[in-house]
Amino acid sequence: MRRLAAVLALIALAVPGRAADVEFVRVWPHWRDADSFKRISEYLGGPENTSGQIVCRTSPDSRSGYYFLVRVKHPFLELAGARFVLHVISQFSPDPREYIFPVGVAAGEQVFELGVTGSDWRGGQGAHPVAWQLELVASDGRTLAQARSFLWIKPD
């Protein structure tokens, strides 16, 4: 009986992760000014200190922008080759814009700052998305997790 249990456990570990193995614990959209990223170490000549967060920007040279702070829990699934797909409808256009952020992290729990920065975010600090949808997509195209704003879905 123990041998059967051990074999079943090994098979379970070999099966690719399911979408239920990934959870968005929190998605928090917010504006961040470039200065909010600076830490003392950077003032002393060091590189950008992300404080343990994984920061991805549409324009890597520009820090100011609209960010989606995403806490992702995936205790058993490595996210090699996965990507975040963010769709945003802004006050400037009814057509959604798509932004893709590659992900490649080991199993566990991470915090991501996904930033629409530079010329990709018009309107500055006073602008907010009208609606948004965020998906975490596996390398094989499966949607692993999804979150969206209340206005993303239009009623019938």
Q: What is the pLDDT of residues 67-89, one digit of tens each?
A: 999 999 999 999 999 999 999 99
**Mean model confidence pLDDT for the chain:** 86
The alpha carbon of 47 is separated from its chain's Cα centroid by a whole number of angstroms, namely: 22
Q: Convert the pLDDT of each residue in 50-67 to its tens digit.
A: 788 999 999 999 999 999
Contacts of 112 (CB under 8 A, 6+ apart): 53, 54, 55, 56, 68, 69, 70, 71, 72, 84, 101, 103
Tokens at 75, concatenated: 């205790």
Going along the chain from its start, the domains and CATH numbers come out as 19-152 (2.60.40.10)
Q: Can you give the pTM of this predicted structure?
A: 0.82
Tokens at 115, concatenated: 């930033």
What is the separation, in whole angstroms, between the first and last Cα of the chain?
A: 54
Confidence category of residue 38, pLDDT binned at 50, 70, 90: confident
Confidence category of residue 10, pLDDT binned at 50, 70, 90: very low
